[in-house]
Amino acid sequence: MGLHHQVIVVGAGLSGLRAALAAQQDGLDVAILSRVHPVRSHSIAAQGGINASLANAEGGRDDNWEKHAFDTIKGSDYLADQDAVEIMTKEAPGIVYEMEHWGTPFSRTIDGRIAQRPFGGAAFPRTCYAADITGHALLHTMYEKSVKEEIKVYEEYLLLSIVKHDNACVGIVALNINNGEIIAMSADAVIIASGGYGRIYGNSTNALINTGSGMAAAYLSAGVPLKDLEFVQFHPTSLYGTNILITEGARGEGGYLFNNRHERFMKNYAAKAMELAPRDIVARSIQTEINEGRCYNNAYVLLDLRHLGRKKIMERLPGIRDICLHFAGLDPINKPIPIQPGQHYSMGGIDTNANGETSLAGLFAAGEAACVSVHGGNRLGGNSLLDTIVFGKLSGHFASGYVKAKKKNAADQALQAELAKVKAKVSRLENSAGKENPAKVRSELKTTMMEEAGVFRTKAKLEAGLAKIKELKERYKQIHLLSKIKKYNLDLVRNLELEGKLALAEVIVLGALKREESRGSHFRTDYPTRNDEHWLKHTLAHHTESGPRLDYKAVTITRFRPQARTY
Amino acid sequence: MKKAALLWLLQRVTAVLIFIVLGVHVYRVHYVELGQPILFAGIAIRLKSLLMLVIDSSLLFFGLFHGLNGLRTVLLDYDFFDRQEKLLSWVLSIIGIIFFILGVKGLWAFIIR
Amino acid sequence: MVTFKIERFNPDVDKAPYFQTYEVAAGKEMSVLEALFYVVENLDGSLAFRYSCRGAVCGSCAMRINGKNRLACQTLLKKLKSPVITVSPLPHLPIVKDLIVDMDHFFKNYEKIKPYLVNNTSAPEKERRQSILERAKIDEMIACILCGACFSACTVAATDKKFIGPAALTKAYRFWADSRDNLGDERLALVAGEHGALRCHTLFNCAEACPKNIVPTYSIQQLKGGLVKCRFSKPAK
């Protein structure tokens, strides 16, 4: 019998840590397995803030959870499940206060309350922030809490497979990156909180570790369906060149977008909300300006903060200034920032309900890896940090409830069998005699996704994309590793991740091809309107040997009937 | 904890005091008799003044303390000395006391025979 | 083409670290991290280094570049203005492999200072109030990304293995100075003693190394002041 924990959480970002804290609080033996040290997780990169209807801001005294829920649902283009949104928005203030009590250094109002700033798609200043490093502030606090509670973390392990036995999840198989050993760990419940897949795309704001390995493992090895994966958020403002995120808070604090004619072009797209329309709309507007040539270098428009003045920039957006100084060599106090849309977030993910449960007993998911769905077709800025903590916590508690109620089943054999299978697969990869350069496969995948499944999609593009991905999947079988070293073999790690990336890419493109409407972030120029009659439903993708099989599931609607979405 | 904080503080305090008494010392030795030859008699006069004896003795005391305590801080960076912290502190204290006695004997030679 | 001299070491096979030279086809805006990826993808798949955010917030890729501790992602080749770029792991930490160092000791020190807010009063229903000025006191310290550049640059930490080091001390100050924390003198006790804050020789190596422009020395001096006040305001326990 090898390693065993009652609950294994995969991923040590905000949702993973929160889930582990919840399960440990319930008295269970919990361990986290993470690709990187917890504070290196991608939650750290969140900048703008976390939404909660605290009603602290001057202009937001009438705010409440229902208004937050409405904004979220309207922002989602009515694809969000409204019961889940209600849970999230009701939990929000409590979650923010809890993080504050645990030590998060939120920025403050004059009277010492948590400061809130306006964000896209919200009727009130609802986004609680710590300057422009809110994710950093929250993740450090969550990590500090996990140090206090002595949460066990297996650092630098890559999840390779989820093990099933008797229709229940019984453990995982993972690669210890440090020594190249592949191990099986048994668990009564597994929570996938491994984040998104941003690095499938070329221009992504995501960390380089965001390869969707958890989603892919759930889909490929656990056989759990992926939901709404065609909904890919493009952040309107990523820094031209590196695509590092420039927070929506920059516009929340009053930044303007200009095209090369020095027009605030958002007036042509969202006359009322202007720069603070939801992300899908602003991203499309910018992309339109770029496509129609009202841009610079055929690639970017300008985000101008100069009128905010030195004091406000230094106080509210110091991190943005640092990023501009280091990565673009300009100071936003004197110069506008060159920006373009970049892949940012996955609304879709492992299909779960509001308890974090997947269709496989004992397998849970939370955060960006999961799709509850609270973000539907388009996530509002400030809702992802909220999602990670709320559903991290809930999935942790529900997982411990499940563990306490379940009968023990001996799964050692299943684990050993899966371990042998994975080991054989890895050794096949290591010893492949193929000639294909994996770096080329990876970079062609990125270009394909940007070009064929980007901000604007058409049938022709998506079909071309799908064909290309199928080709890349074939070529992947022939890749040749440059190194067979055991210890810290980056070549191996990145190419194991590549398999999952290809699988996810196929699901994204196929879902997008089949969804013949435009909703939220999914925009089909050949079907430019929303079609509630046929498409007010979630896409579910099941893994089969011949590729994804799609079916659909109804959207839960409680109190907000779908209406036209204007800003 | 208490010892470390006290020594750290005394290091700062002696630095300030050295600055003051050294100022007086330099002024008296180098500026009051500026341009005049250095004669035994001149030194004898200075070392018979009680004020100057107190100033110079304090300079000696503060200088020794500051120097040796500084040396202790530097040596404690190294594991070898750190393991012998008590012994090191005693040895440095004794060196300090010996040098102070020798110095005082020299300074007060014109008064105490 | 830019020449990279990269320190290599695999403790499983090598007796001692050695330098290997690579020619990297460098773009104008290329960062050192991107150059390392170029090496792994095109020249030598066995090179190991840590990476994550590539935007200078996660703290994974601190290493020594042309003689200075920096983040590889934040260091653009054009800013180094040097035809040969030398890359080695953070000094004074055990090498795990190539550019990867063992951060255990660093995080053990971090854990020593109780790196979490402690407030023994019962939590209010809403937030604990904190004025803008109180919050401003810790503004610089919360930007720390725990990359270890300061710890590795600190010559005191290099010789005195018990020294808590600049990052943990900055964190200690961050909580001690936080108006919401009420651990007070007990926090000071955690950084007291010969190997705590008072060990700092104010060399400012940490401040020079910090990729986030934090000056740990400031926090450390504040702690020293606190320790002295605490020495005279309270009887010894």
Packed helices A65-75 and A82-102: angle between N→C axes, nearest 10 degrees: 120
pLDDT above 90: residue A310? yes
What would the pLDDT profile of A369-419 be if each residue is shown by its tens digit? 999 999 999 999 999 999 999 999 999 999 999 999 987 777 889 999 999
What would the pLDDT profile of A335-380 be if each residue is shown by its tens digit? 999 999 999 999 999 999 999 999 999 999 999 999 999 999 999 9
- Three-state DSSP at A426 gives helix
pLDDT for B33: 75
What CA–CA distance (Å, rounded) separates A142 from A99? 8
Domain annotation for chain C: domains and CATH numbers: 2-101 (3.10.20.30), 104-233 (1.10.1060.10)
* A contacts of C46 (beta carbons < 8 Å): 482-483, 485, 489, 491
* C contacts of A242 (beta carbons < 8 Å): 29, 54-55
Taking residue A46's Cβ as centre, other Cβ atoms within 10 Å add up to: 26
Q: What is the ipTM of this complex?
A: 0.96
Taking residue A244's Cβ as centre, other Cβ atoms within 10 Å add up to: 23
- How many angstroms separate the CA of residue C237 from the nearest CA in chain A? 25
What would the pLDDT profile of C181-191 be if each residue is shown by its tens digit? 999 999 999 99
Q: Give me the residues paired with residue A8 across strands.
A: A31, A190
Q: Would you say C154 and C186 are in contact if contact means Cβ atoms under 8 Å apart?
A: no
Which conformational region is residue A73 in: left (phi greater than 0), alpha (psi within -120 to 50 degrees), or beta?
alpha
pLDDT above 50: residue A423? yes
| A198-209 mean pLDDT | 96
Q: Is C203 touching B (CB cutoff 8 A)? A: no
> In this complex, do C224 and B8 lie within 8 Å of one another by their Cβ atoms?
yes
Nearest to C213 by CA among C147, C157, C115, C135: C147
What is the CATH number assigned to the segment(s) A237-341?
Answer: 3.90.700.10
The contacts of residue A17 (CB under 8 Å, 6+ apart) are A32, A38, A139, A142, A143, A145, A146, A151, A392
The contacts of residue A428 (CB under 8 Å, 6+ apart) are none
Q: Where in chain A is the domain with CATH 3.90.700.10?
A: 237-341
Domain ranges of chain B: 2-110
Packed helices A490-514 and A438-452: angle between N→C axes, nearest 10 degrees: 30
CATH fold of the domain at A421-536:
Methane Monooxygenase Hydroxylase; Chain G, domain 1 (1.20.58)
pLDDT for B25: 92
SS (H, E, C) chain B: CHHHHHHHHHHHHHHHHHHHHHHHHHHHHHHCCCCCCCCHHHHHHHCCCHHHHHHHHHHHHHHHHHHHHHHHHHHHCCHHHHCCHHHHHHHHHHHHHHHHHHHHHHHHHHCCC
SS (H, E, C) A12-58: CCHHHHHHHHHHHHCCCCEEEEECCCHHHCHHHHCCCCEECCCCCCH
- How many angstroms separate the CA of residue C132 from the nearest CA in chain A? 6
pLDDT above 70: residue B113? no
- How many angstroms separate the CA of residue B55 from the nearest CA in chain C? 27
Give the predicted TM-score (pTM) of the model.
0.95
> In this complex, do B1 and C160 lie within 8 Å of one another by their Cβ atoms?
no
* C contacts of A108 (beta carbons < 8 Å): 130-132, 135
> In this complex, do C228 and B9 lie within 8 Å of one another by their Cβ atoms?
yes
**What H or E segment, with its residue span, contains residue C32?**
helix C32-38
Q: Which CATH number fits domain B2-110: 1.20.1300.10, 2.40.110.10, 3.30.1950.10, 1.10.579.10?
A: 1.20.1300.10
> In this complex, do A131 and C139 lie within 8 Å of one another by their Cβ atoms?
yes
Burial of A190 (0-12, 13-18, 19+ CB in 10 A): buried
Q: Would you say A121 and A272 are in contact if contact means Cβ atoms under 8 Å apart?
A: no
Q: Give me the residues paired with residue A51 across strands.
A: A127
pLDDT for C114: 96
> In this complex, do A485 and C54 lie within 8 Å of one another by their Cβ atoms?
no
pLDDT above 70: residue C235? no
What would the pLDDT profile of C41-99 be if each residue is shown by its tens digit? 999 999 999 999 999 999 999 999 999 999 999 999 999 988 899 999 999 999 999 99
Place of tokens 């720390």: C144
Q: Is B5 touching C (CB cutoff 8 A)? A: yes
> Mean pLDDT of all residues in chain C?
94
Nearest CA in chain B to C234: B2
